[in-house]
A and B are shown apart, each in its own frame.
Chain A
Amino acid sequence: MGFEQVLQKTWRDNLLFSVLVELTYRCNLDCFFCYNDLGLRGEPLRTDQYLDFFAELSDLQVLNLTLSGGEPLAHPDFLKLGACARELGFVVRVKSNGHALRGEMARRVRDEVDPFLIEVSLHGATAATHDRQTRVPGSFDRLLANLREMLGLGLRVKLNSTMTRWNEGEIEGMMALADGLGLPLQLDPEVTPRDDGDAEPLSIAPSREGLGRLFALQAERAGSGAAAVSVAREGDEGIVPVPLAKHCGAGSAGIAVDPYGNVYPCVQWRRPVGNLHRQSIREIWSASAGLREVRELTARAKEVVDAHGAAGPLLNFCPGLAATHTGDPLSVYPDALRRAEVLGEVLEQEKKRVLLPVVP
């Protein structure tokens, strides 16, 4: 059996395989379009609760554990939790803004957490744009210095960038920057509402032209043999999409947990299905009525996408985002339709280009 079949099994048989933990919503940057619900209140999970939770996840044979935030390094026990995750045998990913990943901290992350991957946010190819989005002057220069330091330490790093109206003119620059550092770059073409439904971030959603240029550049790079630039679907990160009866692995192979112990089917799908203050993850995973509903919805979401025929895969449809956008996880939201349309046009143009006769 290959890895893809294993993933199929996790989706089909509801085997928890990947968990994203938002350790804290504290952050040393102040990104304009941050999706965290900073108004959310509750009792933060204590460190001892995290340790018990991680041990239970290990018993459940969860492989991938992503430490996220906010800025995960802002959690006072980040290193302790990361080291525990390593000891328990998880493949640890850290999603960070990179601001604190330097010097002693970067070395300790390498030596004590030993992450498989550190995913760092890049907001532009220039200090003006990057710092405009992070709202912290100097954050771009510091990030570049930190990236070089991380690479020097042998850490595996990937750049993640959300395309916005502010940085869409710097896509080529960001690709060049990533190439120059020898790092993979993942561009997310979708600015999302905040987790509380606040649509303010959408005010800087990329333009139609920006989307078209991104997709064209991707096609161009794919054809030229340059390093691929992937397009994100956040919730399934680390999971290869597999053909199945479900649209995604939300609530079937993965979950997300916020700092207050609320458990969600996916980082994008903020529909609580349990809380770790009241139940163990084993209880939630096996008995949550909310999770059962989500699993049924992911099967129905596949039918929704399939109904779009060849355009279906181009939607990059996310039931969680559909729920945030429209209140209905099965409603194909306008951004997905627009993206599919633009991508379809680009692919059509590429097809024509390929068909052009080659003149010596």
Chain B
Amino acid sequence: MPALDSGSILRPARDLRFRRIDDEAVVVRQRAGEVLVMNETAARLLELADGRTSVAEWVEVLAAEYEIDRQALEQDILAFAADLAAEGMLELAPPPEEEESRGV
């Protein structure tokens, strides 16, 4: 996967299922038959990764929630998102025009 930047648009991997139980995410990786429990930050990123909003937009949302310095927040988010992508939990969403041409 190419390096992520603030314009990247991510979505959960196709075989990923997750739900938020209070402050945590229960994540199921279907292919592997694996269940993980992840922390609040991961839960929030998985919620935000809807395949439509960019990382920059996540930063706006989270900056309002946590009152953290935006630049540091963006770096943290990009690093965490890259980790989730490396683990195969997040993937880059196809560009909108490609989605439209597929009738999605």
Residues of A contacting B: mostly? loop
Tell me the complex Cα distance, A116–B35, Å.
12
Cβ of B100 under 8 Å from chain A: no
State whether B26 touches A89 (Cβ < 8 A): no
**Do residues B33 and A63 form an inter-chain contact, with CB atoms below 8 A?**
no
When the two chains form their complex, are residues B30 and A61 in contact, meaning their CB atoms are under 8 A apart? no
Closest Cβ of chain A: how far from B39's Cβ, in Å? 9
Q: Does A39 contact B (CB under 8 A)?
A: no
Judge if A300 is at the interface, Cβ distance under 8 Å. Answer: no
Shortest beta-carbon distance, A190 to chain B, in Å?
27
Residues 189-210 of A, flagged 1 when their CB comes within 8 A of B and 0 if not, give: 0000000000000000000000
Q: Are B17 and A2 in contact (CB under 8 A)?
A: no
List A contacts of B33 (CB < 8 A).
116, 156
Residues of B within 8 A of A9 (CB): 21-22
**B17 near A6: Cβ-Cβ < 8 Å:** no
Report the Cα distance A184→B57, complex, angstroms.
Answer: 45
Question: Which residues of the other chain, A, contact B21 by a CB distance below 8 angstroms?
Answer: 6, 9-10, 15, 17, 61
Q: Tally inter-chain residue pairs, CB-CB below 8 A.
A: 41
Minimal beta-carbon separation of A336 from chain B (angstroms): 30
**1/0 contact string of B1-45 vs chain A (CB within 8 Å):** 000000000000011011111101010101001011100000000
Cross-chain contact of A3 among B20, B26, B30 (Cβ < 8 A): B26
CB of B17 within 8 A of CB of A90, answer yes
Q: Name the one of A10, A15, A61, A116 contacting B28, with C-beta atoms under 8 angstroms.
A: A116
Once bound together, how far apart are the Cα atoms of A114 and B13, in whole Å? 13
C-alpha gap A320/B4 in the complex (Å):
52
Q: Which residues on the B side are within 8 Å of A2 (C-beta)?
A: 37
* A62 and B30 contact, Cβ closer than 8 Å, known pairs A1-B24, A6-B37: no
Nearest CB on B from A207, distance (A): 35
Nearest CB of B to A244, in Å: 15
Q: CA–CA, A62 to B20, complex, Å? A: 9
Tell me the minimal C-beta distance from A249 to chain B in angstroms.
14
Given contacts A9-B22, A10-B21, 15 further A-B pairs with CB under 8 A are: A2-B37, A6-B24, A6-B26, A9-B21, A17-B21, A61-B19, A61-B20, A62-B19, A63-B17, A63-B19, A89-B18, A89-B19, A91-B28, A116-B17, A116-B28
A and B contact pairs by CB, cutoff 8 A, 27 listed: A1-B37, A3-B36, A3-B37, A5-B37, A6-B24, A6-B26, A6-B37, A15-B21, A17-B19, A61-B19, A61-B20, A61-B21, A62-B19, A63-B17, A63-B19, A63-B26, A63-B28, A89-B17, A89-B18, A91-B17, A91-B30, A114-B15, A114-B30, A116-B17, A116-B30, A116-B33, A156-B33
